[in-house]
Amino acid sequence: MRNYKCKSVGIIGSGIQGVCTGLQLIKKGIPVTIFDRHDPLSSEFIAASYGNAGHFSPYAVLQFNRPDVIYDLPKMLLSSNGPLALKWNYIPKMFNWFLHYFKHCNQKSMMHTAKYMHQILSLSNDAYGEIFQEIDTKGLVEKKGIIYVWTNKNLKSRNLEIKVRKELGIEQKLLTQQEVLDLEPNLQPVFDAGVIYESAMHARDPHGILKKIFKLFLNGGGKFIQSNVKNLKQININETAIRTEKEEYKFEKTVIASGAFSKSLTDQLGENIPLDTERGYHVHFKDKDHLISRPVIFLDRGFGMTPMNKGLRAVGTVELGGLKNPPSKKRIDYVIRCAKELLPELDHHEDEWLGFRPTLPDFLPILGPSLKNKNIIYAFGHQHLGWTLGAITGKIISGIVLEEKTNLDLAPYSSKRFY
Ligand SMILES: Cc1cc2nc3c(=O)[nH]c(=O)nc-3n(C[C@H](O)[C@H](O)[C@H](O)COP(=O)(O)OP(=O)(O)OC[C@H]3O[C@@H](n4cnc5c(N)ncnc54)[C@H](O)[C@@H]3O)c2cc1C
């Protein structure tokens, strides 16, 4: 094994980015401590990495900073029945985020984001493949493809997505309505056409997978401290103090992998990074997972369903409303309504959950050192794709921590782009 100089690493966050980063570092013989206010092995763990839709989506290169959505935005935001919603009390706090968003909402930025999402997304399944060789994923991961369906209402947007994916060489198979129904006969034909990404996988239990990766980390000698990190302080260039509610711990290097909550820590370092959250919801329909064989996403509705061990998980909507507002009953009702539109036999639901997608205004994550201290490394902002990108993020961030050479172009993921 190479002899690395790094003496200790503290990671804040035991979501999928933190745990995968911890695992990679432990494998290289580095002492690592992960901090989280919730124990990932407990039922208290309700992070985005627990409640997501479970899609491994290496094809999903196009994000929401695209010129075709900008004209529809006001209408979508004002409608309480659509896929996008606002908590009005939060709008003033999102001013800076929106300023950056509008700057990045054009053809050039859209293609820049697509190119650099593609760079990491195209490596994402292989990175998980390496981890899955070490854990038993039986009953946890399935490879049956992922289907998206749509109506003829927004064909301009659909054609753009198909074109960009084609340009980037992404495998996609367009389907007629009948071809979708042949694959998923229980669906109501309320859509006009679709696409299947045949090599995509889905998790039947994202939390179950995360727990297994976390146990690998612990078995490799990794430490975990359950505590809320209150403070992050640079003592000198080679030492950072992580202060929890009870104690202070010192590390040579620190990784901020705190998802949508990372901003409170980066603000303390004097970097005003425009990170915010796109809130999303899920519910389960118990014992109804047999109704579909693979995830189905209804693009017009901004919602999808994944067959999982807990039942059929219906997931979706984007709500701009920050981290502190309470869950919206209306949003949950929306998700349930959308699920019943596609599968009318669904009845009672359970487990209403609100989660926080960590999103930057150009929809690229930040993967790289803080601009103020190269020994504090950022690993957040994975928006709708953080589950897919967990394993590859772990590899990239551990490489940055250990100052390894890489063939990847990592400059576009630096926080520098916002200054
Ligand atoms: C509704 C929904 C559906 C989604 N579906 C998909 C999907 O199908 N595919 C996909 O690829 N992605 C999906 N995502 C996105 C994905 O879930 C997230 O991008 C990803 O989980 C983020 O991982 P993370 O490790 O950065 O953050 P998180 O999972 O949020 O973990 C961050 C952790 O940091 C801890 N933490 C934060 N601050 C502190 C502190 N100060 N002290 C101690 N601990 C702290 C939190 O407790 C938390 O456990 C979805 C997200 C949502 C909300």
Residue range 99-125, pLDDT digits in tens: 999 999 999 999 999 999 999 999 999
Residue 291 CA, chain-centre distance (Å), reads 26
Measured in Å, residue 18 CA sits from the centre of ligand 1 at 10
3-state secondary structure of 273: coil
Does residue 315 line the site of ligand 1, with CB under 6 A?
Answer: yes
Tens digit of each residue's pLDDT (9 = 90 or more) over 119-157: 999 999 999 999 999 999 999 999 999 999 999 998 999
User: Cα of 164 to ligand 1 centre, how many Å?
Assistant: 27
Q: Is the CB of 15 under 6 A from ligand 1?
A: yes
Tell me the mean pLDDT in the region 224-253. Answer: 95
pLDDT tops 70 at residue 1 = no
The verdict on the CB of residue 266 being under 6 Å from ligand 1 is no
All domains of the chain in start order, with CATH: 9-418 (3.50.50.60)
Q: Which amino acid would we find at residue 216?
A: L
Residue 223 has pLDDT above 70, yes or no: yes
Residues 6+ apart with CB under 8 A from 133: none
Q: Is 35 in the pocket of ligand 1 (CB under 6 A)?
A: yes
pLDDT band at 71 (very low <50, low <70, confident <90, very high): confident
Tell me the average pLDDT across 246-256.
96
Strand ranges inside 68-222, DSSP E: 84-86, 141-142, 146-150, 173-176, 193-197, 201-203
Burial 376-389 (b: 16+ CB within 10 A, else e): bbbbbbbbbbbbbb
Average pLDDT, the chain: 96
pTM above 0.95, yes or no: yes
Using an 8 Å Cβ cutoff, are 121 and 385 in contact? Answer: yes
Angle between helices 107-132 and 390-401 (to 10 degrees): 90
User: Which residue has a Cα nearest atom 9 of ligand 1?
Assistant: 55
**By mean pLDDT, which of 18-27, 68-77, 304-313, 324-333 is the weakest?**
68-77
Residue 244 has pLDDT above 90, yes or no: yes
